[in-house]
Amino acid sequence: MYGESLDFCRKNKGMELYGYCIMPSHVHLIFRSVLNDPSGLIRDFKGFTSKKIVKIIDDNPHESQKEWMLWMFERAGKKNSNVTNKQFWQQNNKPIEIWSLNVFEQKLKYIHNNPVVSSFVTNPIDWKFSSARNYGNDDHTILEIDINQVVCTSETLAPAGKRK
């Protein structure tokens, strides 16, 4: 569902996606807005995915934590004047401007190594929901990205603790 939403943003909202890592509790993105509206892109992405996730939870009769999760989303929504119903995403983002190739490589390594640091995998390429697969294996089956050819090196994809 995240991949579907990001793909929609790439094809219809002017997003150039250079890196991503979808973790169980958060998402990392490296992107550029061709329309010079990165805040609008994130707003639309979060709006679409939050509605979809809440609906998936609400429609699932087998979800044991359904009532509690929906109550938590509603409670969070009541705390924010710009939320009309339930809030899934936190209001704040942590945007970092990428001003050089060095910073790009640093941030790409960081997001690709998130699943390694969290002990989900031992190699970034093994995490299914990461652009490490796009860069390392030319695997675009989960999500197509706009690969930055300049950073396609083994150094960029080296697992944490095994960097040169």
Angstrom distance (rounded) from CA 135 to CA 67: 40
Q: Do residues 123 and 117 lie in contact, with contact meaning Cβ atoms separated by under 8 Å?
A: no
pLDDT digits (tens, 9 = 90+) for 43-69: 888 878 878 887 888 888 888 888 888
The confidence score (pLDDT) of residue 149 equals: 52
Angstrom distance (rounded) from CA 31 to CA 15: 7
What tokens appear for 19 in the block? 């890196």
pLDDT digits (tens, 9 = 90+) for 2-45: 778 888 888 888 889 999 998 887 888 899 888 988 888 888 88
How is domain 2-157 classified at the CATH fold level?
A: Alpha-Beta Plaits (3.30.70)
pLDDT digits (tens, 9 = 90+) for 86-141: 767 666 667 778 888 889 999 999 999 999 999 999 999 999 999 999 998 888 88
CA 159 to chain centre: 19
The confidence score (pLDDT) of residue 157 equals: 44
Angstrom distance (rounded) from CA 22 to CA 78: 27
pTM for this structure?
A: 0.75
Q: Do residues 139 and 118 lie in contact, with contact meaning Cβ atoms separated by under 8 Å?
A: no
In the chain the first and final C-alpha atoms are separated, in Å, by 35
Domain spans of the chain?
A: 2-157
How many residues are present in the chain?
A: 164
The confidence score (pLDDT) of residue 124 equals: 96
Angstrom distance (rounded) from CA 74 to CA 81: 12
